[in-house]
Amino acid sequence: MSARENSSTWPIFLAVWCSFFLYCAIAAPVPAVNEPHYLCKARHFWQPDWCDQDFFLRSTNAHTVFFATIGSLTTFLSLEQTAWTGRALAILVLTAGWCRLLSTVSSLRWSALQTCWLFLLLTSIGNLSGEWLVGGVEGKVFAYGFLFSALGHVASGRIVRAGGLAGLAIAFHPVIGVWGLLSFAGSELVRHRFWAIWRFNVLFPLATNVRSRLLSIVVLIACALPGLIPVLKLLAEPVPNSIKNSAAYIQVYYRLAHHLDPMRFPPRAYLGYGTLLIIWIIVMRLRKQRVHDTVPAATTSTTQVDLANNQLRLDLIVGFAILFALGGLAVGWGPRPAQLMAWYIPRAQLLKFYPFRLADVLIPIAVSMGIVNTINVMGVDRTKVFLGCGLLAVAALFRAHSMCEVNRYSGALRADWIDGCRWIDAHLPSDALIHTPHNGWAFKWFAQRAEYVNFKDCPQDAAGIVEWNRRLNFLKRWFESHYDDRFYSADELRQLRKETEITHIFTDRLGPMGIEPVFQNATFQVYDLTSLD
């Protein structure tokens, strides 16, 4: 890129980065809903003795590249500092991919920023399967950024670099990266027409550039393997099929049903995305009609042809993402409970690969791109378009603030929760194993101590998922069955400690107990079960 191009694009890049960063700061204050889940595991990855009794932290790692890279920040930064630094880096990668992709489908200088603002408004309204793009720091934010960059470099003919970026997308988040790669492969087959393969028409262009294409595949695989190998090991986990089937059922129809079970998606989500699909189809038809009516083939410039080809590729990629989502809908649709469906376990084995994830993000992006480009080429005053998109950005920020993730506790409850966690951090031994409330939030983040089990922190290996479910069910049955007399005696608590090795109970509801709390505030109490030894 020339110095002149750099000087003209860096203000746009900075504005997009600031827009994304400001939105995530307002919509998902640190720690965001998933940041304790990922960053605590990332810290344990680098410091295995930290909360080493925690069942989830000791489970198999599925996001190894994210833990190995962003997790290294935890060796010299606090978890909160790591979250902010990780967000800045993740949004940097996302912004680079966003601007690269937008530059290949639009010649309008500020379209990347205008599209960003409209997309943030759409994403603040809702989603289909719980997927989001701008929020806390996770491996998927990096993956989407690398994926967008890869698509942009493909459009620019830099296929070796595109292969490396696609590999990085897979490494940081294999599910997103692989779905993106499959969507791209499908779009290329359609663009070159399936029937042309039989006439060998596709082979000739391939033969003229075999070396670079093979090199791009090698680079893709090399970059993807560090993240792909751990996931393949998870899938090939040497456990009985009964464990794998139980884990798939628990994951799809219980723990992650809001992401994976289409019968659990709210009607408003279907209505919203149905509306977006209609808008996207209308925008595509308007664009094709405008090109046909106003740009004769003989006068079409090389730039216009390239933009049209890149837009066609992107439309096809979005189309394949929609096709995968429709496939997931067909697989998951049926009566509930899930056992009433024929082949419900094989269905769960397919649904656990998140078939709705890519469409959930790409549809609002495609709609935002289409609307911005359509308005800009209709002759509307550019200043008015810019101001209008700016108002949408402000609306998105207000919407994000009103829907801000409260992480289960707010106000006085939040203050009492953090007060209790910090008392535990200051007074309990580092090897303590704590039973925490079912609706607890970010306990390890604030208390720096291991938990016996946590509903949010579900492992990703089959054996771990089944054990996680067993622990939750065991505690539920134990506390219910021993509360017949409305009292947990010292002998009963001693039995609980013997069966679970729990050292302390941190609770807001359980009790009364046969022992006195060692800490108490207006909401929470801490009981020391080791005193019964």
Host domain of residue 320 = 3-402
- Residues 201, 73, single domain; the answer is yes
Lowest mean pLDDT among 64-68, 182-186, 371-375: 371-375
What average pLDDT is seen over the chain? 90
- Residues 11, 119, single domain; the answer is yes
Rounded average pLDDT over 256-262: 96
- Residues 185, 213, single domain; the answer is yes
- Residues 93, 238, single domain; the answer is yes
Contacts 24+ apart (CB under 8 A), 236-241: 237/60, 237/461, 237/462, 237/463, 239/462, 239/463
Query: If we measure between CA atoms, which residue out of 71, 68, 80, 88 comes closest to residue 32?
Result: 80
Alpha helices, DSSP H only, in 126-158? 139-155
Count of domains in the chain? 2
- Residues 264, 116, single domain; the answer is yes
- Tens-digit pLDDT profile for residues 88-140: 999 999 999 999 999 999 888 889 999 999 999 999 999 999 999 999 999 99
- Tens-digit pLDDT profile for residues 178-217: 999 999 999 988 877 654 444 444 444 444 467 777 888 9
Q: Model pTM?
A: 0.93
Distance CA 113, CA 95 (A): 10
Q: Say yes or no to pLDDT of 489 above 80.
A: yes
Rounded average pLDDT over 455-482: 95
- Residues 438, 383, single domain; the answer is no
Cβ contact 412:440 at 8 Å: no
- Residues 379, 488, single domain; the answer is no
- Residues 458, 368, single domain; the answer is no
Lowest mean pLDDT among 17-21, 356-360, 402-406: 402-406
Q: Say yes or no to pLDDT of 294 above 80.
A: no
- Residues 443, 387, single domain; the answer is no
Distance CA 251, CA 234 (A): 14
Boundary (domain end) residue, out of 348, 374, 402: 402
pLDDT class for 383, splitting at 50, 70, 90? confident
- Residues 121, 239, single domain; the answer is yes
Q: Say what the pLDDT of residue 377 is.
A: 78
Please name the residues in contact with 434: beta carbons below 8 A apart, sequence gap of 6 or more.
Answer: 424, 428, 443, 447, 449, 450, 451, 452, 502, 503, 504, 505, 506
- Residues 59, 120, single domain; the answer is yes
Q: Say yes or no to pLDDT of 163 above 90.
A: yes
Boundary (domain end) residue, out of 363, 380, 402: 402
Q: Say yes or no to pLDDT of 297 above 60.
A: no
- Residues 415, 397, single domain; the answer is no
- Tens-digit pLDDT profile for residues 300-309: 556 777 888 8
**Residue 463, CA distances (Å) to 110, 234, 429, 467 in order:** 50, 10, 29, 6
**Crossing angle of helices 302-332 and 344-351, rounded to 10°:** 150
Boundary (domain end) residue, out of 380, 402, 424: 402
Q: Say what the pLDDT of residue 7 is.
A: 43
